[in-house]
Structure 1
């Protein structure tokens, strides 16, 4: 028996922001700044129309993107001076708890800026005895709290009372140990001989007696044939006139929806009513499209480099209608864009997409799960 009126419930709220612009240096810097503010990148999807093989320009970027899992690690390991000096203050460190649910479990993440974010339950918070604040997702019941620790702060010196208090709190048995997903980008050296291997982070934890497992990036490619792709225009309500016929460009929402369904190999033909997707605006026939899907833990710098290479590739191939870069954040990360606290609530959306075309048009599209708790 169906529950009455369930179809009358409002759909989950999602915060959506997008911007059309010319693909120039100023806008590129704005996009790169936004990319840099989104630390925990879990999945990357790339769509390349009229392309049958991964371009040589981006192929090197897809190699050596592996990360590591460390098992049964207490949080006190991440505030030790040798770790902070070697991997937090130098290079860029990414750390995220694994198999923890942001709404109900104790979770943590460490960003490249050296900020240690803890998202914990009410019981755990009161046992730790360190200062935090109620989560904005739990203002009414105050059943969840967040704590921020700046690992680069001089106040965190091992000789201070604050460090002793923090060490005592993080060793509390209510926190226990975590399985952690980590990656580290070594600082760039002009002299290749002085370059540090990124796997040094794995050796550090291995030498400390922890079980370290290499996690290779999952890479899948596939080709879709016989496509009619919506076009990327300057504005959503502009008309395009082709061969005497006027049609609208695709709206940002239609374009993102199409790219998502294409990446998931959905049936785009109007064969079944419930699964039909239609677009009445201008489309371009494309013989094939290459879809690349990567799953792992990807640094902000890597995503920025991929974006720049894709933009150059679009400018060099004028017959391509557009190229898309779709980046999914971890749905259970404690923070999202710009260090804003994140929660799963209804869907855990924590992603963005960038579309670029050969005629210097660019669309940046960002979406985040609602910060309103369910009633």
Structure 2
């Protein structure tokens, strides 16, 4: 067997605990700077139906748009930037040949190795030097329209105004309006880990750790049976101990192009979920980023060409404590 096949890809899981009530809590920044999200799911233990506020929020996620064969130069036009961009960057992850043909300034990928085969090009769309009569704008426009014309299919969403403006703005292109897909699963008599908000690393015989919970949530999200034995040929994964049987659990998943703003609103509603007494003292909110996104958090490079893990999860407790779990895969910057 080749040595490369014998070694497992690197995976990274960062866990931290905090409180929503702490002045220096970073939970908003963690959500706001994870830009490209393809799915969000929340698990409500001891719940058999979706509360009205959460149902309204899920149903009101709104549409996003697929624009076909959109030239890259559309994003540097002054009209586009004035209409949609208050702050932001256009970030390209390109191979060596495309980078050389574009002729724009960039930097080697952090994961190129000795032979640099991929480059990152970043363009600040709010840069004053990007005025239509400036040399910088002229060079970028030339690169995108004449030197190396690039067209792609883009998913677009907008939180700051009427999302249908996207459809009217790009009316000369093929624009498809897309709706998020919503699925719900109600599990009954489910083995569930015992948690304590202050015990992130768990406590032998008393409560489970954040890592154990993360693995269990992955199994529940993928409908994997956790009532197994070590001798089971198909799967030996079991619910971590100590655990308890819960009568029912509600899992809701929304799939599509989901903006950080919508996730923050959902997170706030899950905090408010405990304003009335509940049988369970925690809920979870898991967010998956696109596997082929050029970045994960902030401008941290995402190794989408090898792996693609790119997700985070909040465990929200009824005392306003929370756990945050952030996972990244091979060729990814460490989560912030």
TM over 0.5: yes
Where 1:58 maps in the other structure, the secondary structure is: helix
Quote the residue 2:7 is aligned against. 10
Distance of 2:217 and 2:47 partners within structure 1: 16
Q: Is the 8 A contact 1:115 1:148 kept in 2?
A: yes
Question: What is the CA-CA distance between 1:250 and the residue it aligns to?
Answer: 1.1
- Match among 238, 242, 248 for residue 278 of structure 1: 238
- Match among 66, 82, 87 for residue 85 of structure 1: 82
* Residue 40 (str. 1) matches residue 17 (str. 2): no
Q: TM-score, normalised by structure 2?
A: 0.91
- Match among 227, 244, 249 for residue 269 of structure 1: 227
Question: What is the CA-CA distance between 1:143 and the residue it aligns to?
Answer: 0.8
Distance of 1:314 and 1:49 partners within structure 2: 12
Question: What is the CA-CA distance between 1:30 and the residue it aligns to?
Answer: 1.0
Quote the residue 1:235 is aligned against. 199
- Match among 338, 357, 366 for residue 317 of structure 2: 357
Deviation track 1:269-321 (CA, whole Å, cap 9, x = no partner) reads: 11524412224522232111111111111111111111111122135333114
Quote the residue 2:64 is aligned against. 67
* Residue 319 (str. 1) matches residue 279 (str. 2): yes
Gaps of 5+ in 2: none
Quote the residue 2:163 is aligned against. 198
Quote the residue 2:106 is aligned against. 132
Question: What is the CA-CA distance between 1:227 and the residue it aligns to?
Answer: 0.9
Quote the residue 2:73 is aligned against. 76
Q: Which runs of 4+ in 1 moved over 6 A?
A: none
* Residue 24 (str. 1) matches residue 45 (str. 2): no
Q: Is the 8 A contact 1:232 1:357 kept in 2?
A: no
Deviation track 1:82-139 (CA, whole Å, cap 9, x = no partner) reads: 11101113xxxxxxxxxxxxxxxxxxxxxxx311001111111111111111111114
Going from structure 1 to structure 2, the CA distance change for 1:132 and 1:339 (only over 3 Å counts) comes to same
Going from structure 1 to structure 2, the CA distance change for 1:366 and 1:237 (only over 3 Å counts) comes to closer
Distance of 1:51 and 1:325 partners within structure 2: 15
RMSD between superposed Cα atoms in Å: 2.1
* Residue 52 (str. 1) matches residue 48 (str. 2): yes
Gaps of 5+ in 1: 90-112, 187-195, 240-245
Give 1:285-324 correspondences, 5 Å limit: 285-324=245-284
